[in-house]
Structure 1
Amino acid sequence: MQTPPLQLDLFALIIFLGVAQGLFLGIFFLTGERRGSVANRCLGYLMLSLSAVIGEMFLCYSNYMFRLLAFVDFSEPLNFAMGPLFFLFVFARIRGRLPKRWLWHFVPAALWAINAVSWLYQPVEVKYNNYLNAYHPELPFAAEPAYYIPEDFFNLRDYIDEMTLLSCLIYNILALILIHQAYRQADKPFWQNSPIRLAQLRNQCMLFLILPALIVIIKPQFYEDLGDYLLACYLTLIIYSTSIRVMAGSNYFIDEPEVSPPMLELPTETKKKYEKSALSEEVEDAVLGKLNRLLEAEKPYLDSDMSLPKLAARLDTSPHNLSQLLNDRLGQTFFDWLATYRIAEAQRLLNEAATANLKIDEIAERVGYNSPSAFHTAFKRLTNQTPAQYRQLVTRSVQTGPPSRQPFPTSSRSA
């Protein structure tokens, strides 16, 4: 069996960097507090799957596979996991949970993994010939043993490219439909760049949607898998675009002003909590204006992972200054403010005919609560009613007009 020299060029470097970055992102999303988000877990597993798929392409393109013949076609089952993982990521990012019976989406990947048994344990000569057939058809084939495990139980390996294309296309379309529905519920045009969360999902979905088109264009131009290096480069682009989006949403590079040392004299009872930070009235007015415009355009309080640092970054201010502004000008803590807007949005959904029949838990998810119990607690504290009681009041008042809303207490900290 021949072993050609290694092929290490620009394409090999790009693919290798994609493998490394995909592994990094997968570990990043699956560790620490980030793992607590079901959307992050889906994205983490997606990045690891992409890394494995393009990792095999790197081994094949660079000729390293001649030294690792046991790994020939090791990532094929993941071809049918990429589409479901991306769809589940979009679903969880929008609704804060996975759909019912979500495991059924991985049945094709599981079946293909079973089928993989028929070629993963082939003699090394058979693996060598399979690799040559796909990437080096010009080289002579090795003599195979007379008897070995029958290959391809399902007789479907010749259609792996077509089935991968179909899987990616179906799940991308399902993700686009889900994003489009979310835009409609937010009363926003599909191509508008707000809310930012939906715009990011839409753009990422469009990137993934190009993959099936590339398969259609590239595969007929090459014998067997010789063009896979181009698909690997595009998957690397998707991985790095995800990295850029993660860095763009990070607060790590945002400078915060130095905290002034405490004054020696004791503050009087009438001094405000944040008086020492010297936030001018003009700056407060500017930040308040930005906040009002952001609320009108994007409704950031509906994001389930909204936090004080994230909101401050959107307003180009520090978390300390934003906390001071909310306390001094609005008389609320950040958690009071967040709960107030979320519960007001929940009341709107319970009042409107188009959404009045939604389940209480679904309304909780739409207004940013991952926990139904937290939503019920916040609703009760702010309105002196449970969501179910409020819904009953709305039903009784259909003929006489919407129910009057109770004034929100500012002491609640349920966000």
Structure 2
Amino acid sequence: MQTLPVQLDLFAFIIFLGVAQGIFLGFFFLTGERSRSVANRCLGYLMLSLSAVIGEMFLCYSNYMFRLLAFVDFSEPLNFALAPLFFLFVYARIWGRLPKRWLWHFVPTALWAINAVSWLYQPIAVKYNNYLHAYHPELPYAAEPIHYMSEDFFNLRDYISEMTLLSCLIYNVAALLLIYQAYRQAGKPFWQNTPVRLAQLRNQCILFLILPALIALIKPQFYEDLGDYLLACYLTLTIYGTSLNVMAGSNYISDEPDVSPPPPETPIETKKKYEKSALSEELEDAVLGKLNRLLEAEKPYLDSDLSLPKLAARLDTSPHHLSQLLNDRLGQTFFDWLATYRIAEAQRLLNEAATANLKIDEIAERVGYNSPSAFHTAFKRLTSQTPAQYRQLVASSGSLPTSSRSA
């Protein structure tokens, strides 16, 4: 059997980076505290599946497959796991759980894995010839044994690209509809960038939705699998897009402190601090009214990246004036004000039947905390209870009143 030298060019390098990053993200989401979230587990398995799929593309494109012929088409069953995993990730990120009978989504994956048994145990000469047929039809084929089992129990392998395209299209459209419904329930336009979590899901869904369009565009232009390296490069882009979302929501680069902010200043201290301010009472009333309307319409405190400058910009005032307003009229620092609303929302989620079963960490994320420890600290400071203790009281004595809001 003839072989070719290893081909390492820019495309091979990009694909290899995607494989490495996908494996890293997969283990990142499936280890530690992160693995307690069902959405993170779905995303972790999705990243590992993507790595396997584009890893096979890397072996084929770079000619390494000549040295690893046993692995020809080893990732085929995962073609039908990618789209369901992404859909379940979106569902779990929005609802905090998986849908009922979620295992049915992987029936095509299981059936194709059964079909793959007939392929995995073929003689090396058969795998070699199939690899040549897809990537190097110019080379002479090897002699095959006369008798061996059927390569395709279901006689469907010739249509795997079309079936993969259909699977991606159906599940990505379904995921996009879920996100659209979540936007409607939040009372926000679909293309608005808040809440941040929904905006990230929407952008990621659109990125994945491009994949079936690329399959439809690229596959007819190439003989057999020669266009796979372009699809692999795009899948690498989606993996790095996920990495950017992870970094954007990372507490490591967040300005939000993990410790509780200092207690609010006394009225005397506040008066001394701002006694030379030029902010009029009329302007305070106007900004306060705008703040109340913003709270009712958009709940900006649920955005994990909300800061004093960002809130001030949305109110058309300066951070200094907004800080003064919160101190003068509400008797709170910005961090106290923010924690008050977030903890009140967390209490509401713990009280309502539809969300009462969410994990504490998931509730922390929903109300805008990137760090569970910061959420627990704020909750204990404002309610004198931990979130778990509060949930226990709700379960034992019925719905409890949420903390009052100051604005």
CA distance in 2, matches of 1:59, 1:241: 23
Q: How far did residue 217 of structure 1 move?
A: 0.4
Kindly indicate whether the alpha-carbon contact (under 8 Å) linking 1:53 and 1:75 is maintained by their aligned counterparts in 2. yes
Deviations 1:87-136 (A, max 9, x none): 00000000000000000000000100010000101000000001011111
1:338 pairs with 2:350:
no
Kindly indicate whether the alpha-carbon contact (under 8 Å) linking 2:70 and 2:127 is maintained by their aligned counterparts in 1. yes
What is the match of residue 123 of structure 2?
Answer: 123
Kindly indicate whether the alpha-carbon contact (under 8 Å) linking 2:350 and 2:391 is maintained by their aligned counterparts in 1. no
CA distance in 1, matches of 2:103, 2:183: 27
Counterpart amino acid of 1:222?
A: F
TM-score under structure 2 normalisation? Answer: 0.74
What is the match of residue 68 of structure 1?
Answer: 68
TM-score under structure 1 normalisation? Answer: 0.73
Q: How far did residue 334 of structure 1 move?
A: 7.3
What is the match of residue 361 of structure 1?
Answer: 354
Kindly indicate whether the alpha-carbon contact (under 8 Å) linking 2:7 and 2:63 is maintained by their aligned counterparts in 1. yes
Deviations 1:116-165 (A, max 9, x none): 00010100000000101111111111000111122111111000000000
Provide closer, same or farther for how the CA distance between residues 30 and 175 of structure 1 changes in structure 2, counting only shifts above 3 A: same
Deviates more, 1:80-89 or 1:193-202: 193-202
What is the match of residue 102 of structure 2?
Answer: 102
Q: What SS does the corresponding residue of 1:91 show, helix, strand or coil?
A: helix
What is the match of residue 355 of structure 1?
Answer: none
Kindly indicate whether the alpha-carbon contact (under 8 Å) linking 1:18 and 1:240 is maintained by their aligned counterparts in 2. yes
Deviations 1:18-38 (A, max 9, x none): 000000010111111111111
What is the match of residue 51 of structure 1?
Answer: 51
Deviations 1:38-60 (A, max 9, x none): 11110111000101000000000
Counterpart amino acid of 1:89?
A: F
What is the match of residue 386 of structure 1?
Answer: 399
Kindly indicate whether the alpha-carbon contact (under 8 Å) linking 1:208 and 1:238 is maintained by their aligned counterparts in 2. yes
CA distance in 2, matches of 1:62, 1:180: 41
Q: What are the within-5 Å matches in structure 2 for residues 265-276 of structure 1?
A: none
Runs (5+) with no aligned partner, structure 2: 278-283, 313-318, 367-386
Counterpart amino acid of 2:195?
A: P
Runs (5+) with no aligned partner, structure 1: 260-269, 348-358, 388-405, 411-415
Provide closer, same or farther for how the CA distance between residues 218 and 385 of structure 1 changes in structure 2, counting only shifts above 3 A: same
Kindly indicate whether the alpha-carbon contact (under 8 Å) linking 2:87 and 2:171 is maintained by their aligned counterparts in 1. yes
CA distance in 2, matches of 1:10, 1:4: 18
Provide closer, same or farther for how the CA distance between residues 237 and 295 of structure 1 changes in structure 2, counting only shifts above 3 A: farther
CA distance in 2, matches of 1:366, 1:28: 20
What is the match of residue 79 of structure 1?
Answer: 79
Q: CA RMSD in A?
A: 4.2
CA distance in 1, matches of 2:300, 2:239: 26
CA distance in 1, matches of 2:102, 2:295: 34
Provide closer, same or farther for how the CA distance between residues 293 and 409 of structure 1 changes in structure 2, counting only shifts above 3 A: closer
What is the match of residue 263 of structure 1?
Answer: none
Q: How far did residue 246 of structure 1 move?
A: 0.8
Provide closer, same or farther for how the CA distance between residues 330 and 202 of structure 1 changes in structure 2, counting only shifts above 3 A: closer
Identity rate, percent: 70
Kindly indicate whether the alpha-carbon contact (under 8 Å) linking 2:349 and 2:363 is maintained by their aligned counterparts in 1. no
